[in-house]
Amino acid sequence: MPTTSIQPSAPPADVRIRTAVASDLAAITALYAQEVRDHVATYEYVEPGEEEMTLRWQAIVAQGYPYLVAEVSGAFAGYAYASGYRTREGYRWTVEDTVYVHPDHIGRGVGRALLERLIQDCTALGLRQMIAVVGDITNVASIALHERLGFRTVGVFQGLGRKHGRWLDTVQMQLALGPGDAADLD
């Protein structure tokens, strides 16, 4: 797979990206609950509470993956994190990205700023591939965001999930990080 080199853009002046901390979990939980309840970006049906979201955050951070928060003028605007794509050892250089933007901040560059920083952080960790699993092919904003940052669609799984009374097609996109698979690790 060819590697993609992106030049990060400067986030809008009022967007600040930082590492998530425990005090962010209430806002993260609320945003994710809305996604679970109202949308199909996640195929989860039951809104996890703050305790469960805290455990998930702790597990991701304990594995050394980045977990980020965006603020706009000091207010929570979204979050993003990387997590292991699969648990088998041979996948240890591949991560899956997750990005959620608060509805009040969609279209303001928050998602791009989060994903650009996530890509930078994962590349700095020596990771080689990032996978986006976009919940439903109708999520054109997520697909477009990933395409703008160099991801390419590598597959569409038809009817892979079901939520809100309909079957959902799942889009998988991929971005090589750093040298990707062009250089040996051994």
Which pLDDT belongs to residue 2? 42
Which pLDDT belongs to residue 1? 42
Q: What's the topology of domain 15-176?
A: Aminopeptidase (3.40.630)
Residue ranges for the chain with pLDDT beneath 70: 1-12, 186
CA gap 143, 38 in Å, rounded: 19
> Around Cβ 107, how many Cβ atoms within 10 Å?
8
Q: How many CA atoms lie within 13 A of 58 on its CB side?
A: 8
Domain ranges for the chain, please list them: 15-176
Which pLDDT belongs to residue 12? 67
Q: Kindly give, in sequence order, each residue whose CB lies less than 8 Å from that of residue 45, ignoring residues fewer than 6 positions away.
A: 36, 163
Alpha helix (H) ranges present in the chain? 25-38, 50-62, 110-124, 140-148
pLDDT, tens digit (0-9, with 9 covering 90-100), for 55-81: 999 999 999 999 999 999 999 999 999
Which pLDDT belongs to residue 14? 86
